[in-house]
Structure 1
Amino acid sequence: MSPLSLLILSILTGSALGQYYDYGSYLDPAHLLGPPGPNCVEECDCPMNFPSAMYCDGRGLKSIPSIAPGIKYLYLQNNQIEEIKAGAFDNVTDLRWLILDNNRIASSKVEKGAFDKLASLERLLFSYNELTEPVGPLAKSLIELKMIGNKISKIPAEMMLGLENLTSFHLQENELTTEGIIGAFEGLKSLHYLDISQNKLGKLPAAMPKSVQMLYADNNNIDSLLKDYLEKLPQLQYLRIAHNALTDSGIPAGVFNVSSLIELDLSFNKLESIPEVNENLENLYLQVNDISKFDLGSFCKVIGPVNYSKLRHLRLDGNHLTRSSVPFDVSNCLRQAAELTVESTD
């Protein structure tokens, strides 16, 4: 059956949907930045009008080349680098960005002390390598850490100590387990964004810093939540737990009734009913569950001039609902909604 879209009141233009956090490209093409500087190794480019950058990406390198002093932005992605020796960065103690994505570096091939002198490092991109645990210790100046698509199964809590300025941590597409991340994030006092999607987690991580605003845990094996989990995250705005194993019995009553939450994604789970959400929630995704009843009380306990849901987008397609499942007075409760999508699986 084709989707049934109910447009409630006027469609709001420019609605701000929460999106997956993405810095986009870090690169400015080296060939657009002028001729190379005199101190650059032959394998890389160091543009004279951007003397603090060294472009060594996609050069077939098997080891980290000699790095000229003064380099702050080092691009080493898309090579065949297999190891990092202890003195590899001794000449560039003021390095700010280090990009090592798409190489062949294993944790056992990162020598002890390799990052010790990088006291000003702000961004470390270490995705799509062969890491089995995070590299470290790292400087407390670090703001962003990406280790997507590795083989990380655990994060020793002591490896994260001191990273009090880290705001963005990307760990999706690894092999993390619930036991493997105990205490791992507790000391990250400035953490705003955490992506642990596509791992092997059975629960959301415990002992999270109160600063977290975006938590993405799609494509795991999460089957339940603790009743006070979100109450301990007073700044959380975006929560995504799609493609997991959540059931009604695993979701305590009122667990999502927190005023800070703007977007909640529970699609592709095993829910049989719509969970209670706070009136401040703006985006709710519940597609492809086993929901057979549209309970307006999940959104509005009281309906009145100043009592109504702020919900703008509601996805319920892929459940056991039809047009007749939608209550006649839905527009009184969901008066700010732009779209409500229902599609029966029957």
Structure 2
Amino acid sequence: MRLVIVLLSALLPLAHSQAPDPFAWLFGWSQRSYFDSLRADIKGGACPEECDCPHSFPVSMYCDGRGLTAMPAIPSHIKYLYLQNNAITAVPDSALTNATDLVWLMLHYNQLRSEAIGKKAFVKLASLERLYLQHNNLSSIPSNLPHSLRDLRLNHNKIEKVTPADLEGMDNLTILYLHDNAVTDMSTSLKDLKSLTLLDISNNKLTKVPEALPEHLHQLYLESNTISSVPEDFLRRFTQLQYIRMAHNQLTDKGIPPNTFNVTGLVELDLSFNKLERIPPVSNTLQHLYLQANQIKEFTLGSFCSIVDVTSFSTLRTLRLDGNEISPADIPSESSLCLRVASNIEV
């Protein structure tokens, strides 16, 4: 009897209520989902009004070209942050403490000064792979950059010196842009960059080739400096190097040791706008050679082919010799055998 009374008392409230809503479970799920997402937004931080955080790409935040003069608040879930084309002058230590998941940080085309970047500003960004700081007013490389970086762009600044401490521990760095600065000395700052494949330090104030270049380089750009010579055998250990550009320097024949550029694997060599009087010997596997605007007085076929016959020939496709002291009449007749692949020879 007691069991029946208990059951009736449990069912009594239902008897006096309306019929149950068959979609109540859906409302309950939607309500839970809404509040869960709301809590997540509160935890991660809301998107700043001056930026866009698209629902289609929720881990990105677009603040580029908004006239910003200071760093905005960054939600913790953001991985891709676009702040380029603003007038930001500083990155305080606290600016990125909430954004520890950042993978890309785009700060190019701003007004950043080295003294206005906190020494711990980037310390917590353990997942950062790309950092773009080009076209700012930096006089030195920021301190304590993440070791996770793969692509670092510092070109078009006012950097005068690069020290070993600036790039210490960057084993993952593959791309380094330092061109269009005022660098006079790099010391041995590049020796530990084991993964570096592209190095661009053109248009600086270097008087010599940097010491201890990484062995896995694919592309080396040194043009528009005041380099007059290259070290003995400086290319012998670069088994993967394909592109060298040293145009607009002060290179002379005396400053280039014999067979410096006669290395296999090289695809393109640019020595234009220097002070060479002879064509330096190159490998018969080279495909593009730029020697225009030098002081070359003779077309030496032996620079391309040590032996000229049917089976031994150069794979050179492009040869620029215009702006020198030779003419088409100086090209020997045997060149059609040696340079049989060349489709573009300018004299």
Q: TM-score, normalised by structure 2?
A: 0.86
The 1-side partners of 2:211 and 2:188 are apart by 7
Partner residue in 1 for 2:275: 270
1:186 to 176, 183, 191: 191
For 1:249, what is the secondary structure of its paired residue?
coil
Deviation per residue, 1:97-148 (Å, 9 max, x gap): 0011111111111112100110000000001111111113122211100011
1:222 to 223, 227, 236: 227
- Give the drift of 1:183: 0.9
- Give the drift of 1:272: 0.6
Partner residue in 2 for 1:288: 293
Partner residue in 2 for 1:125: 132
The 2-side partners of 1:71 and 1:306 are apart by 60
2:204 to 199, 202, 221: 199
Which segment is superposed worse, 192-201 or 52-61? 52-61
The 1-side partners of 2:51 and 2:266 are apart by 46
5+ residue gaps in structure 1? Answer: 1-36
The 2-side partners of 1:69 and 1:172 are apart by 33
The 1-side partners of 2:284 and 2:215 are apart by 22
- Give the drift of 1:304: 2.6
Partner residue in 2 for 1:69: 76
Percent identity, please: 49
Partner residue in 2 for 1:279: 284
Give 1:110-189 correspondences, 5 Å limit. Answer: 110-177=117-184, 180-189=185-194
1:297 to 302, 305, 324: 302
Q: Kindly name which structure, 1 or 2, has the bigger radius of gyration based on alpha carbons.
A: 2
The 1-side partners of 2:244 and 2:100 are apart by 37
The answer on whether the counterparts of 2:119 and 2:142 sit within 8 Å (CA) in structure 1 is: no
- Find out whether 1:212 has 2:181 as its counterpart: no
- Find out whether 1:257 has 2:273 as its counterpart: no
The answer on whether the counterparts of 1:208 and 1:233 sit within 8 Å (CA) in structure 2 is: no
The 2-side partners of 1:324 and 1:227 are apart by 34
The 1-side partners of 2:332 and 2:309 are apart by 16
Partner residue in 2 for 1:22: none
- Give the drift of 1:253: 1.0
Deviation per residue, 1:252-286 (Å, 9 max, x gap): 11100111211000000111110000111110000
2:317 to 309, 312, 322: 312
- Give the drift of 1:217: 0.7
5+ residue gaps in structure 2? Answer: 1-40
Aligned length: 304
Letter in 2 for 1:77: Q
Letter in 1 for 2:246: I
Letter in 2 for 1:187: D
The 2-side partners of 1:306 and 1:109 are apart by 63
Higher relative contact order (CA 8 A, sep 6+): 1
Letter in 1 for 2:336: S
- Find out whether 1:101 has 2:98 as its counterpart: no
Q: CA RMSD in A?
A: 1.2
Q: TM-score, normalised by structure 1?
A: 0.86
- Give the drift of 1:322: 1.1
The 2-side partners of 1:255 and 1:72 are apart by 45
- Give the drift of 1:308: 1.1
The 2-side partners of 1:59 and 1:323 are apart by 56
